[in-house]
Chain A
């Protein structure tokens, strides 16, 4: 039978009379947890921002026709040469159309698929931007702009103008911000583009597009799908790429494989496209956790030390408690209770400090050319980290308290009282 009110009463008295040690131990936990929360919120916020930056530009599945050599060369079709070793020199890519065959039926099929949030057709065309006698190479992407705005973060990257403006004009263009700067153009100006075939078209600038990645902003612009089809002189079903957003991203790989088989096109899933990026995020997370756990372990050692000292000081008290009828378990609980009270108070205080610091970081201005949509440092206020923080605080103080309290449990009162 454990009488908690008595045990907690004794624990409370010990903590209050040893205020200095209590505060030191509590602050140890507070700093550990506070630093963990701040660090993890900031780091994951940063990770999420970088993920968004790259991953939101990438569709979950990207379908296109790949230019590649045939898997089987004509020679292997001849039965007579099957038992010989054939060497083919100077293999050329297979003559293939750039457009996706049957693009419109594929699109309507995809839009009915239960795991597809949306599928958008794109037409990528190689073009030149003309500025006087200067020709700048680049590409023009024909998109279904409203659908694109619904499914990707293109809206965030339009720094001037709007998606509606593009939709409402049949010869509008969202010009890459880098290009606009090079050619000193502003909204309402006209820019002339020339196709690879040499046809020249004037387009009206309705907005600027800035992804934050200079390599893209210096070459890429967007226009309506029908506009680009007209420029290229192609029919309405001429689509070179299909971008798919899924509801459940985990199925992207298996779905990409099955689409490849079903429609005989190349389908790249998001993980394949960003493999090295994922690695970067994982390593950053690993560092965050390594640092936080180190902080918490240091705090744990602080508690261990202080409780150890306290038990050494309280040797006589422990003996007297045992002599007057407190069992070893009771004595252990007295010291465990102290550790857990320290952990709980320090932990909660740490969460508050962590939240405060995160908030401070969240409001600190962070403006950079590369990230047009960001004005303050990114912070992730995720409740899970607070839960992990307080759990770890309790676990580490529990362990740090268990070892010394177990020692207190085993103290032989006779030895202490007789002074041997």
Chain B
């Protein structure tokens, strides 16, 4: 199986308030259709790593490949396009645009990509909401739905452009066990039915155990790949 995401010798420092070496020579890869989780204590650098992998953070040394293409050193504009097209992101907090409807929230990244017609995007968005069992909420305002529902909307939004990889920063961290279970099932289904690669940072041991691969981090080093 080919590798979709690969990090080579990634180093990162925080310079404020004083020099701190957060990530030390991180090298690892995520394969096509793999469901990987990153675990570690607070401050081990796992979130920092995830934001570098998501191309949002560019202040690091080393090399990052996405679909065997070097991503490191590209312009902000190109990176934005890569994020738009190839990376889906789910956060701990849902981060929906509260003034827009659920459907509009889901459609927005695809409208930005502008590779499909408005009608095609809308159809796809409705299909994805349906898949996550929240199709009936499509025309609600994003601020009017419950936490678990919001997180599912966020997942639908992350999936709208059929990304290469879905990243999650503690996607279940703010949910009760029932909704956590739901999110896990959704992720599992995506992997099994669509062969999507997933990389999730989590604190939740039960969640991590059921993934294909646990990457453990401590003090900026991968202790177990």
- Contact residues of A with B, CB < 8 Å? 1, 3, 5-6, 9-10, 13-14, 17, 316-317, 319-330, 413-414, 417-418
Residues of A within 8 A of B158 (CB): 324
Q: If A320-B95, A322-B80 touch, does A330 touch B112 (CB 8 Å cutoff)?
A: yes
Q: If A17-B99, A316-B95 touch, does A325 touch B84 (CB 8 Å cutoff)?
A: yes
Chain A to chain B: the 8 pairs with minimum beta-carbon distance, closest first: A325-B84, A327-B80, A17-B99, A320-B95, A324-B109, A325-B83, A6-B111, A414-B51
Partner of A317, one of B47, B89, B97: B97
Evaluate contact between A13 and B89: CB separation under 8 angstroms: no
State in angstroms the CA–CA spacing of A324 and B156 once bound together: 12
Other contacts beyond A325-B81, A328-B76: 8, CB < 8 A: A3-B114, A5-B111, A17-B99, A320-B97, A327-B76, A327-B81, A329-B77, A417-B91
State in angstroms the CA–CA spacing of A267 and B98 once bound together: 78
Partner of A323, one of B54, B76, B82, B98: B54
Residues of B within 8 A of A323 (CB): 54, 56, 83, 89, 91, 95
Interface size counted on chain B using CB atoms at 8 A: 31
Residues of B within 8 A of A6 (CB): 108, 111-112, 114
Determine whether B57 belongs to the interface, using a CB cutoff of 8 Å to chain A.
yes
Residues of A within 8 A of B80 (CB): 322, 325-328, 330
Determine whether B131 belongs to the interface, using a CB cutoff of 8 Å to chain A.
no
- Contact residues of B with A, CB < 8 Å? 47, 51, 54, 56-57, 76-77, 80-85, 89, 91, 95-100, 108-109, 111-114, 157-158, 161, 169
State in angstroms the CA–CA spacing of A370 and B112 once bound together: 68
Residues of B within 8 A of A329 (CB): 77
Partner of A324, one of B98, B114, B157: B157
Evaluate contact between A324 and B89: CB separation under 8 angstroms: yes
Q: If A325-B112, A413-B56 touch, does A418 touch B47 (CB 8 Å cutoff)?
A: yes
State in angstroms the CA–CA spacing of A153 and B51 once bound together: 80
B118, chain A: closest CB distance, angstroms: 9
A417, chain B: closest CB distance, angstroms: 6
Residues of A within 8 A of B76 (CB): 327-328
State in angstroms the CA–CA spacing of A418 and B43 once bound together: 12
State in angstroms the CA–CA spacing of A322 and B77 once bound together: 10
Residues of A within 8 A of B47 (CB): 418
Evaluate contact between A324 and B56: CB separation under 8 angstroms: no
State in angstroms the CA–CA spacing of A135 and B111 once bound together: 93
Evaluate contact between A3 and B56: CB separation under 8 angstroms: no
Evaluate contact between A325 and B109: CB separation under 8 angstroms: yes
Q: Which residue of A lies closest to B114 (CB)?
A: A3
Residues of A within 8 A of B100 (CB): 13
Evaluate contact between B113 and A319: CB separation under 8 angstroms: no
- Can you give 9 contacting A-B residue pairs, CB < 8 Å? A6-B112, A316-B95, A321-B108, A323-B89, A328-B76, A414-B51, A414-B56, A414-B57, A418-B51
